[in-house]
Structure formats: structure tokens, C-alpha cells
Amino acid sequence: MGMNKNTVLAWATLIMIIVGLGLIALGAFRYDDVAGWGFAAVGIGFFAIAWVFNALKGRV
């Protein structure tokens, strides 16, 4: 099973979305103080990077 660059970007996008959801869930359900806002902000940043990876599929 060979992985080309589009497959690698697809897997990276999927992993980044899962990690982003995990960070947002930590911020929402685990931490009730200011740290929760930080976790949620980093989770949204992961979504932004995953969006860029998804946009790069087929162009790189």
C-alpha cells in the first residue's frame, strides 16, 4: 500500500481534526478556569491548520 502526497495530507487532516476536537472537549468539559479558554483556542488553531492541509490536497 503506497501513500502518495494526497493520502498523507488526508491522514494529517484527519489526525489534526481529531486532536482539535479533543482539545476543545478538554477546554469545555475538563477545565473550568482560564486554561479551558486556552485549550479551546489551540483546538480552533488545529482546525485552521487542518483546513489548510485539506486545501493543499491536489495542489502540492
pLDDT over 80 (residue 1): no
Q: What is the pLDDT of residues 5-47, one digit of tens each?
A: 888 889 999 999 999 999 999 999 998 889 999 999 999 999 9
Q: Do 46 and 20 touch, CB atoms closer than 8 A?
A: yes
In single-letter form, the type of residue at position 58 comes to G
* pLDDT-derived band at 52, boundaries 50, 70, 90: very high
**What is the reported pLDDT for 59?**
79
DSSP string, 1-60: ----HHHHHHHHHHHHHHHHHHHHHIIIII--SHHHHHHHHHHHHHHHHHHHHHHHTTT-
**What is the reported pLDDT for 37?**
93
pTM for this structure? 0.84
pLDDT over 90 (residue 60): no
